[in-house]
Structure 1
Amino acid sequence: MSVLRIPNQRAVIDRRRLAEAIAGVVGEKGAQKARADVLALVRQALEDGRRELEQRLEEKPSAGHEITSGYAFLIDQLIRVLHDHVISDVYPVGNRSSGERLTLIAVGGYGRGEMAPHSDVDIAFITPARNTAWCEQVIEALLYYLWDLGLKVGQSSRSVDEMVRMAKSDLTIRTALLEGRYLWGDEALFDETSQRFWGEVVAGSGAKFVAEKLEERNARHKRMGDSRYVVEPNVKDGKGGLRDLQTLYWIGKYVHRVRSAADLVEVGLLTTKEYRSFRRAENFMLAVRCHLHTITKRAEDRLTFDLQREVATRMHFADRPGKSAVERFMQFYFMQAQHVGHLTGVFLAHIDEQMAERRRPTGLLAAFRRRARDYKGYRVMDGRLRAPTDGWFAQDPVRLIEIFQIVEEEGLEIHPATMRVIRRDATLVDNQLRKDPRANALFLKLLTGRRDAETALRWMNESGVFGRFVPDFGKVNAQMQYDMYHHYTVDEHTIRAIGLLGRIERGELTQDHPLATELIPKLASRRVLYVATLLHDIAKGRGGDHSELGADIALTLCPRFGLDEAETQLVSWLVRYHLLMSATAFKRDLADPKTIDDFVAQVQNLERMRHLMVLTIVDIRAVGPGIWNSWKRQLLGDLYLAAEERMRLGDNAHGRPHRVAAKRARVAEMLGDLSHLIDELDSRFDDEFWLSEPEDVIALNLPHYAAAKQLQDRLSIHAHYYPKRGATLVTVIGDDHPGLFYRIAGAIHLAGANIIDARIHTTHAGKAVDNFLVQDPVGQPFREDQQLERLKISIRDAIANRIELVPQLAKRPLARPRAASFDVQPEVFVDNDASRSFTVIEVNARDRPALLNRLARTLFECSLMVNSAHITQFGERVVDSFYVTDLLGGKVTSKSRLAQVKEALLKAASETAEAEAA
């Protein structure tokens, strides 16, 4: 495959002029003494060529093929000039022997003629037999020149026999040579090498090569996240990326010996339209890769958050109402990745059929072949559903919905040839079809399918039918959410949530979600839950509150799908309030009765809450790996059970003496022989302690407090793994004094932990009993003895003033370094209605190690007492909620004082103030 011809090649590099300049300095100084001058000339040519190509990329930011071919051309000419200089001037041989022959083959991406600015230069040096001294000298001299130019060279030096032997046994070598392109040197030797490769290595091994490449591809996808919709994709190796396109070409070339991607049309593996789609996707992704290399000045292939914005700007994407330039750029990227996925499916299926045809028995054995069967007018063979005619869907467009419902219900796949027809005929989905009761009934049956709705809906989405049948869903197709919290595009997140819902209902996730598994069979309408899951994020990217906008969309779509009035109203409510349960559980104090009262007032009945509980779980878990954890499961479960009890018992559940007495009785059972501590320490702890702490924590706190009291220990620190909540419980018991909370918070961060929940108590004897739940930066508990000891030492040193917290915290690196790519403006909200006893202050800001310490210190400086703190992370953003009182134990109600507190917290949350303090 030759390098694409690029315009005005001499502006990139003039090989003749460079060769003449080298000949001039060699003639003047001699080959050995002129080496530095030769290197300087070639280096200048390389820099000038790169500068020219960078300028062209700036002028034509989407010209991926032209720019990558330009870089390959530039390197070609440099290597050719250097080769000629070495064999003519450095190691000249008057009459070379038959063994003193050398051919240079460009292999890999370089051989394909696609080079990003900092791609490796992959060269195979081939000799007739074992290297002669002359061949070794020439190869070594060439490599030193290339290394001195700063190029990263991937090289091999082999005889023809060695090449054949190693290519047979090594898939990577075989793939690299598959794209071998004559670069320079002995052409006859190149022809011999090529003939032996195709005749001795490739011949008869097509099926094995295809199987190995597909296995390699699957392993790569798994390593890269196994989705083409991850929000920081790898342009080269990610699913739907350049490597997938290259795999198609490799397989086509290996099996059919195609010379270029265009030849895939001639051998029937792609249609002309699909080939154009292939080239568009490849051109775009090559351009993106060139921009990544140019920006970073290295071989960077991952489209990270910090680079996405700059690449979007360079490629001239602009902001639009409701969507930023970077979101529009990434949406276009994912649409190209989607095209790659479709091409891959169609292509591989054709290859599979072609190879199966070759293996198919003939003669008498042909009678024993498996026969196709009919199913509702379709043909089924080998687990694949196929349309009987090319005009099947045009005859009745409802079949465009029906086919996906059938494959879900029957556990089949759609034949790639039929999928190709579906993509072509997706334009048949119009308003008439959208209003068709049959089509909507089939769609609802598919959505609520009990076998594998997720896979069928993903096929439907990638075919283009889904977005046309539900245009509101089409608007979020391939739409990314520009933050570190969401791992997938909106459509992929939604489809994954539906898949999780199905798995929970089938009982596959009972251990992870026991409550949700128990609730689903109790629902009055399971289809309400599936439709609400489909619609919960459908209004994202419209510039308003997606929950409110989505609720309005639900009122229109649900009747169309066939839901009755009651179901429609419930779906709309669920979409409107799908964030209510997580916000309450993660940002509010569940021990405060007012929290439960307000939640119940919003939910109103058990049926709504059951739906909301399951919807909340699948929504959070479908965000991405590592987002769901046992801490969130526990909080949501606690909220559900408390709200259920409130609905069941009404006001009787809130009798304060009754609740305290019930908890004391349960703690007594847990303490066993130590239950006498409850009465002995009764005068120390007030009702707030009993009401706010879980029974198992109280059962730990009381013996710890009693032991510290007996030993007259002024500071007692305990840390242990708390499996129930998937965190580490840190308890600090000691003399209470102003600023204790912010010192402990800073110390815990210095020890490498994040606080996710905190409860602050002061006994009647003036002792502090503070409980903290902590995790490491990736949401895992501290378990190792040395980790727990580090926590204790850090807290002890901070309380004793042996460390300066602010400078030390400022030195700590970000737990999520890429968070710096996001501009999160701090916000402060004050709510005096969320609790009967406390003022609730919520701070939203960009996450960083010193934040909680600074906020806690600011509250202390504002003369506020923190009763509890609740910390929730959303990728780069963190929400810290504090339940506070003034020094007299009352709410903060003065407007002027609240304004001062908000101003102080905003300053503390801003990174400018933090930098100044450091």
Structure 2
Amino acid sequence: MTSEASSPSSPAAGPDGPVAYADARSRLLADPAVAGSRRRAALAGLTDRWLAGLFAAAGAPSGVALVAVGGYGRGELSPRSDLDLLLLHDGPVDSALPERIWYPVWDSGASLDHSVRTLAEARTVAAEDLKAQLGLLDARHIAGDAALTASLRSAVLSDWRATASTRLPELQELGAERAERHGELSFLLEPDLKEARGGLRDVVALNAIAASWLADAPRDGLEAASRRLSDVRDALHLTTGRATERLSLQDQDQVAATLGVLDADTLLRQVYEAARTITYAGDVTWRAVDRVLAARSSRGRRSSRLSFPFTGTGRGSGAVARGAVDRRPLAEGVVEQDGEAVLAQGARPATDPVLPLRAAAAAAQAGLTISYATVRRLAAETRPLPVPWPDEAREQLITLLGAGEACIPVWEALEAEGLITRLLPDWERVRCRPQRNAVHRWTVDRHLVETAVKAAAMTRRVARPDLLLVAALLHDLGKGWPGDHSEAGEVIVRDVAVRMGFDTADTETLAVLVRHHLTLVDTATRRDPDDPATVDLITKVVGTLPHLELLHALTEADATATGPAAWSSWRASLVDGLVGRAAAQLAGGYPFPADVEPTAEEERLAVEAARTGGPALSLHAQSNQDSFATEPMGVELTLAIPDRPGLLGTVAGVLALHRLTVRAASLRELDPIGVGAVLLISWTVTAEYGELPEAARLRADLRRALEGSLDVARKLAERDAAAPRRRGISTPPPVVSVAPGAASATATVLEVRAHDAPGLLHRIGRALDEAGVRVRTAHISTLGADAVDAFYVTDPAGRPLSAQRATEVAAAVQSALG
């Protein structure tokens, strides 16, 4: 519209005319002393005064109100924001009245979104259009009949709360659709500040949820995050002169300069940090909404269960004691409640520095996340881990990473409360760091987590899944430092590995993996893989076959986590071919473990067992001989017994009955007095959760099982049948393989790699017993959540198995593990 069209009733040059408003607006936007939220509020105030003047000049009668809705209703205007206005009336109005208000607005150059409705019409439109209803939730009076505006606000809020059970799922679906279209703001190089997940539109949704009274978002940092994104959007509007929400690469330097930020990377990092705060608040709040709505729809659920949905308030000891809340144990100090992992009543974060990692690992392995209240408490009360870390802390980190996709929401919860940088101070340099390479889908820190997720699916391919997962998490830490990130990363990872408590050999392995995580793919694509010099280069870099195995898996995990363009069947075939040639050159024997001299205690037990023909037990307790010690990574149990079929499975089954997890074990033969072989089994065990059992009770059950009066398999089956089913995570299937013939000259070596679970070793032992083979030596390791076991087996005559027989036995064990 032209100014001439409106000049008869509203002179363009008058004090309330569009020209005067446009000039005042331009001066305000050019004033360097007024910026950020102050400028948005000032611009809204200036616009309010102008519109109120237009309303008065238009001669509006009583029973009419001018109402700001949407973003303008919230009292904040960005330089290029639309003016969302509602002319509200309680009866017929002159059809020319709206034009006398709208025309000057158009003449000023401002974008206008307008409507004219009665209160009943506004409510009807809101009931039919969710977006319109959201806009009306922010209705704010500008001019005219204030009581009419108040009636609108009251009616809209009442309608919103009355229909929240149906409206909130619609709102959640809208958010999911937006995220699908616009992506996740935290990881985009050219993010949409408003529509992407974690953007300003999500803040509006969180405020709408709060207005429903069903739940409220975590407020710490949320207002600052929203303010930061709004500031960036303002600067984008000013630098481009357009009402755009997309922070394009070409505009980032100028926007950064306008905001006084060091550079475009720093700007993006601040945007990502704000978006993550909003995203996490949304995740917490929507989980609370889901719980409340599910409780409302459940028959017979007490109304008190609907209170305090996200804070954890109302879940005190009284409710638990009365049985009102279902809590199932996950790990020591951690239980499942309402679909989340929470702290047990007896948990004491202040005296248990491993608790955050234990809770995170238990949650991820169960396919849960950690409740907001729990993470907040852990962040507030837990003391830093000692250096080097206790063994349990390292194992729990590996267990967390080994959960794969289920690790991500747990990791995000820990990071939102600062627990990740507390555990790994070097993480701060890569947190929210952008990667200006179109191949990369993620920021540096998220790429590291995604690489660990990909590596979790490859743990059956390597003998040291723990080192693979940690290398995946740390391989790009050098990107936070100057110079080649692989070289810088090697230095960093040596320090981090020592702090984590890895020994010298493992630290060296991690350093090799980080330093050379790009070597395989670079060499395979740039050098002739058939050239012996190329193979020599790789073998010199990795040194050993286990290193090559780990580097191969890390290379693939890194590339597939980067994005589709970083990995292809062609690259995979080149790398596989190069690895195959290098492996053939490195291949050597799989030596039989060197004999270890028995300790005096082991020798005493072996002699006792040989003389009596029964079991001899030794339990290493701290002070009380009737209970286990509470060592962080387990208690030593040594058993000597004359060899017999099914021994390993029987003893492992008894431990499983007592909810003891085998962290490590070794089995070997001795003949201490020359009257026959005695098997010596050394175990390291921990309680699955709760207190460790009494030693006397365990000793009695072991004797009963060995005598045949305790049916271990039946007892385990009965317990499993009675236990409630708990959802868990999908894990790579178990792998049972026969080691090469050179592995041992006197036995056949079966390797088992599987996800650790109660009774796993019992099932393996039973399968070997049913296959009719003898276990001469065994080496059992639990690394995080992965079991990596080797069994040296022979036929009843003590000879290695034939190739066909070995394959059959391996298949039988595989079948037993499902």
Distance 2:304 2:143 in 1: 52
Secondary structure of 2:481's counterpart equals coil
1:218 positional shift: 2.2
Give the letter for the 1:174 counterpart.
Q
Would the alpha carbon gap of residues 173 and 421 (structure 1) be closer, same or farther in structure 2, given more than 3 Å must change?
same
Q: Aligned-pair RMSD on alpha carbons?
A: 3.4
Secondary structure of 1:123's counterpart equals strand
**Correspondences of 1:656-735 after superposition (within 5 Å):** none
Q: From 441, 444, 452, give the equivalent of 1:498.
A: 452
Which residue pairs with 1:87 in the alignment? 59
**Correspondences of 1:815-830 after superposition (within 5 Å):** none
Distance 1:246 1:392 in 2: 37
Distance 1:230 1:77 in 2: 39
Give the letter for the 2:580 counterpart.
E
Q: From 4, 18, 26, give the equivalent of 1:50.
A: 26
Q: From 50, 70, 81, give the equivalent of 1:119.
A: 81
Give the letter for the 2:511 counterpart.
S
1:193 positional shift: 2.8
1:280 positional shift: 1.7
Higher helix share: 1
Which residue pairs with 1:289 in the alignment? 233
Give the letter for the 1:179 counterpart.
D
Distance 1:121 1:434 in 2: 59
Which residue pairs with 2:512 in the alignment? 573
Distance 1:207 1:392 in 2: 37
Distance 1:110 1:41 in 2: 20
Which residue pairs with 2:162 in the alignment? 204
Distance 2:375 2:304 in 1: 31
Would the alpha carbon gap of residues 326 and 419 (structure 1) be closer, same or farther in structure 2, given more than 3 Å must change?
same
Q: From 424, 428, 435, give the equivalent of 2:389.
A: 435
Give the letter for the 1:208 counterpart.
T
1:178 positional shift: 0.7
Secondary structure of 2:190's counterpart equals coil
User: Is contact 1:373–1:381 with CA below 8 Å preserved after alignment?
Assistant: yes
Q: Deviations over 1:122-145 (max 9, x none)?
A: 11222224x54x1x2121232222
**Correspondences of 1:173-188 after superposition (within 5 Å):** 173-188=132-147
1:643 positional shift: 4.9
Q: From 446, 452, 475, give the equivalent of 1:536.
A: 475
Q: Deviations over 1:713-760 (max 9, x none)?
A: xxxxxxxxxxxxxxxxxxxxxxxxxxxxxxxxxxxxxxxxxxxxxxxx
**Correspondences of 1:751-830 after superposition (within 5 Å):** none
User: Is contact 2:161–2:211 with CA below 8 Å preserved after alignment?
Assistant: no
**Correspondences of 1:8-407 after superposition (within 5 Å):** 32=8, 35-38=11-14, 41-56=17-32, 59=33, 63-87=35-59, 101-129=63-91, 131-132=92-93, 134=94, 136-199=95-158, 201-226=159-184, 228-255=186-213, 269=216, 275=219, 277-318=221-262, 325-351=263-289, 361=300, 371-375=326-330, 376-388=332-344, 392-407=348-363
1:203 positional shift: 4.5
Q: Deviations over 1:334-381 (max 9, x none)?
A: 222232234334444555566677777478999996633344333422
Distance 2:6 2:336 in 1: 76
User: Is contact 1:404–1:456 with CA below 8 Å preserved after alignment?
Assistant: yes
Give the letter for the 2:366 counterpart.
E
Give the letter for the 1:476 counterpart.
V
Distance 1:430 1:486 in 2: 33
User: Is contact 1:434–1:440 with CA below 8 Å preserved after alignment?
Assistant: no
Q: Deviations over 1:104-161 (max 9, x none)?
A: 21111111112110011111222224x54x1x21212322222222211112222222
Would the alpha carbon gap of residues 389 and 326 (structure 1) be closer, same or farther in structure 2, given more than 3 Å must change?
farther
Distance 2:40 2:437 in 1: 31
Which residue pairs with 2:678 in the alignment? none
Give the letter for the 1:43 counterpart.
V
Would the alpha carbon gap of residues 442 and 591 (structure 1) be closer, same or farther in structure 2, given more than 3 Å must change?
closer
Q: Deviations over 1:236-272 (max 9, x none)?
A: 222222222222111112337xxxxxxxxxxx946xx
User: Is contact 2:387–2:499 with CA below 8 Å preserved after alignment?
Assistant: no
User: Is contact 2:16–2:54 with CA below 8 Å preserved after alignment?
Assistant: no
Which residue pairs with 1:424 in the alignment? 380
Distance 1:123 1:562 in 2: 63
Distance 1:126 1:160 in 2: 7
Would the alpha carbon gap of residues 613 and 365 (structure 1) be closer, same or farther in structure 2, given more than 3 Å must change?
closer
Distance 2:582 2:296 in 1: 70
User: Is contact 1:443–1:561 with CA below 8 Å preserved after alignment?
Assistant: no
Secondary structure of 1:234's counterpart equals coil
Distance 1:455 1:611 in 2: 26
User: Is contact 2:350–2:383 with CA below 8 Å preserved after alignment?
Assistant: no
1:232 positional shift: 2.9
User: Is contact 2:535–2:581 with CA below 8 Å preserved after alignment?
Assistant: no
1:173 positional shift: 1.0
Q: Deviations over 1:462-515 (max 9, x none)?
A: 33211111111232112223444433221111111111222x33xxxxxxxxxx
Would the alpha carbon gap of residues 591 and 377 (structure 1) be closer, same or farther in structure 2, given more than 3 Å must change?
closer
User: Is contact 1:104–1:126 with CA below 8 Å preserved after alignment?
Assistant: yes
Would the alpha carbon gap of residues 394 and 352 (structure 1) be closer, same or farther in structure 2, given more than 3 Å must change?
farther
User: Is 1:644 the equivalent of 2:615?
Assistant: no
Which residue pairs with 2:721 in the alignment? none
Give the letter for the 2:188 counterpart.
V
Q: Deviations over 1:616-673 (max 9, x none)?
A: 222223224x42453xx312312431452365379xxxxxxxxxxxxxxxxxxxxxxx
Secondary structure of 2:142's counterpart equals strand
Secondary structure of 1:452's counterpart equals helix
* TM-score after normalising by structure 1: 0.57
Would the alpha carbon gap of residues 600 and 617 (structure 1) be closer, same or farther in structure 2, given more than 3 Å must change?
same
User: Is contact 2:430–2:444 with CA below 8 Å preserved after alignment?
Assistant: yes
**Correspondences of 1:471-490 after superposition (within 5 Å):** 471-490=425-444
User: Is contact 2:90–2:119 with CA below 8 Å preserved after alignment?
Assistant: yes
Would the alpha carbon gap of residues 482 and 312 (structure 1) be closer, same or farther in structure 2, given more than 3 Å must change?
farther
Secondary structure of 1:539's counterpart equals helix
Give the letter for the 1:524 counterpart.
A
Q: Deviations over 1:584-608 (max 9, x none)?
A: 3444565777655545554455443
Q: From 451, 454, 473, give the equivalent of 2:408.
A: 454
Distance 1:295 1:202 in 2: 38
Secondary structure of 1:435's counterpart equals coil
Q: Percent identity?
A: 26
Which residue pairs with 2:419 in the alignment? 465
Distance 1:156 1:434 in 2: 66
Which residue pairs with 1:608 in the alignment? 547
Secondary structure of 1:453's counterpart equals helix
Q: Deviations over 1:10-54 (max 9, x none)?
A: xxxxxxxxxxxxxxx99xx99618634349942243233233233
1:301 positional shift: 1.7
Give unmatched runs, 5+ long, in structure 2. Answer: 306-321, 587-818
User: Is contact 2:187–2:272 with CA below 8 Å preserved after alignment?
Assistant: yes
Distance 1:479 1:127 in 2: 52
Give the letter for the 1:111 counterpart.
G
Give the letter for the 1:572 counterpart.
A
Distance 1:125 1:558 in 2: 66
Size of the alignment, in residue pairs? 566
Q: From 536, 540, 545, give the equivalent of 2:484.
A: 545
Distance 2:521 2:383 in 1: 37
1:450 positional shift: 6.1
Distance 2:581 2:154 in 1: 80
Distance 1:352 1:30 in 2: 52
Give the letter for the 1:299 counterpart.
A
